[in-house]
Chains A and B, each alone.
Chain A
Amino acid sequence: MRVKFCLAAAAATLVSAHAAADVTLYGKANVSLQYTDKAGDNETELKSNASRIGVMGSEAIGSGLTAIYRFEYETSIDDGDKDGQTLTQRNIYLGVQSKAGTLMAGKFDTPTKTAQGKIDLFDNLVGDIKNVFAGENRVNNIVQYVTPESVGPFTAKLAYVLDEGGSNGDEDGVSASLAYNADALYVAVAVDQEVDEADVYRLVGAYQLGSVQLGGAYQQATYDNGDDADGFFGSVKWRLDDHWVLKTQYGESSSDFNDQKTLSVGADYVFTKKVKAFTYYTQNDDSINNDGDYLGVGLELKF
């Protein structure tokens, strides 16, 4: 009841906030029923796949400057429990935007993570690219500069990650990316230095060929303990018509301590831009006997 009251209060606050400035409320609910066969055990689970709610907005502050903000929280719509809480923090930042670019600070995805663009067709499901790639980090205490839109099809990002006595051995990290996005082609290079105890070099490409989207990535990672992990990733999405989308992706990485592979195939039925039903089959293998097969069907609503 207390949570319900808080949500009602938050909604009321948003109404009054909206009257003062443009605040965009957004989010999505994504839930799937999944059959899991992993390491000899099997079960049927109801999964909430990164369902979230957030607000974003901007406020002109004069002299050609605009303050931008975003507060995004994840909630598990299957059981209401996300790491012991109802809501957990996702991307949260406050920044200042001008013709020279955007300077922002908070907790959010590193340039290397966002450089993947939209090649991960099973993002937030068991077939997520993070199964085989390091560098998929959303980090605390990050300050980032992003080049302005006027640079044209190029977007460069440079971020500094303050460890603040955290898990990275007191070493601050740097993450940077350079992306080119024009019409059908997307290409990005990214690098992490001392982010989440790893150095990462990533190359990403995607091309829209009519109704087919091709995506690929290659990555080299070196962990602080000296282990290396090289990997590649490829995906294909085929829009059959206004409703049906077929998709598949494969990725693998090899390191001194583990070899990992992920294969997914799936189909979406798109009702509208905001609602789709989906089904997927994913096979995740590794060399430490943690193999898993997953079959799921789900529904997603965006708002």
Chain B
Amino acid sequence: MSALLYVLVLLLSAYGLSVQAEGCEPAVDMLESNDAVNRMSECDYSDKGLNGWFKARTENTPEPMHTSQTAVLPPVVDPPVLAAKFELISVGVKSALDLVQARFTLVAQAAEHCDGVAVLSEEAYRQGHQGHTQLIMSFYCR
């Protein structure tokens, strides 16, 4: 019973951290669809729910220092940028107007996600479900 309580507490605490990209149904629903294997790459769940919680823990945890090391090495990447980098994926868009709307939605979500400002680091496109184009935008918080 204590194990079940542990899982429930974990789920409820992670739920509060969820940031759902518009149009992506929860993974458990997507997997119930007939063409689930073709849709697994359609939505990025890495920043959502428990995944976001795990990711945040991983990225905010400093690298362990080995006691035998005597020299402190400089970081390879600017830590604040690495810690806040995240990716948002739009639903499939069918027209130029949809694309403008999708970009606005993702930018608004990114701005809401960051405490400071959201900086666009990469923008990409791919063919998604049923041939519709998906917009992929990577941001980091500054």
A104 to B35, CA, bound (A): 13
Chain A 95-123 against B: per-residue CB contact (8 Å), 1 yes, 0 no? 10100001010000000001101100001
**B10 touching A11, Cβ below 8 Å:** yes
Q: Is B28 close to A, CB under 8 A?
A: yes
Min CB–CB distance A294 → chain B (angstroms): 22
With a cutoff of 8 Å between Cβ atoms, the chain A residues found around residue B51 in the complex are: 18, 23-25
Q: A75-B7, A86-B3, A153-B130 are in contact. List 17 more A-B contacts (CB 8 A).
A: A1-B2, A7-B7, A23-B51, A58-B40, A75-B4, A80-B1, A149-B35, A152-B131, A155-B35, A181-B34, A274-B20, A274-B26, A275-B15, A301-B12, A303-B11, A303-B14, A303-B18
- B29 closest partner in A (C-beta): A302
A114 to B26, CA, bound (A): 18
**A68 touching B54, Cβ below 8 Å:** no
Min CB–CB distance B124 → chain A (angstroms): 15
Interface residues on chain B, size class? 35 or more
Q: Is B37 close to A, CB under 8 A?
A: yes
With a cutoff of 8 Å between Cβ atoms, the chain B residues found around residue A275 in the complex are: 15
**B58 touching A19, Cβ below 8 Å:** yes
**A102 touching B37, Cβ below 8 Å:** yes
Interface residues on chain A, size class? 35 or more
**B46 touching A22, Cβ below 8 Å:** yes
**A18 touching B54, Cβ below 8 Å:** yes
Q: Is B33 close to A, CB under 8 A?
A: yes
- B-side interface residues toward A, CB under 8 Å? 1-4, 6-8, 10-12, 14-15, 18, 20, 25-29, 31-41, 44-46, 49-51, 54-55, 57-58, 127, 129-131
A188 to B2, CA, bound (A): 44
A77 to B41, CA, bound (A): 30
- B14 closest partner in A (C-beta): A303
Interface-facing stretch out of A26-34, A208-216, A248-256: A26-34
Q: What are the 6 A-B residue pairs with the smallest beta carbon separation, nearest first?
A: A26-B27, A3-B3, A302-B26, A303-B49, A149-B38, A24-B45
**A26 touching B28, Cβ below 8 Å:** yes
- A-side interface residues toward B, CB under 8 Å? 1, 3-4, 7-8, 11, 14-16, 18-19, 22-29, 52-54, 56, 58, 66, 68, 70, 72, 75, 77, 80, 86, 91, 95, 97, 102, 104, 114-115, 117-118, 123, 146, 148-149, 152-153, 155, 177, 179, 181-182, 188, 273-275, 301-303
18 contacts between A and B (CB under 8 A): A15-B58, A18-B46, A24-B46, A25-B54, A26-B31, A27-B11, A29-B8, A58-B41, A146-B35, A146-B37, A149-B38, A177-B34, A182-B130, A274-B15, A274-B18, A274-B26, A302-B28, A303-B50
Contacting B26 at CB < 8 Å: which of A118, A182, A303? A303
A182 to B94, CA, bound (A): 13
- B5 closest partner in A (C-beta): A4
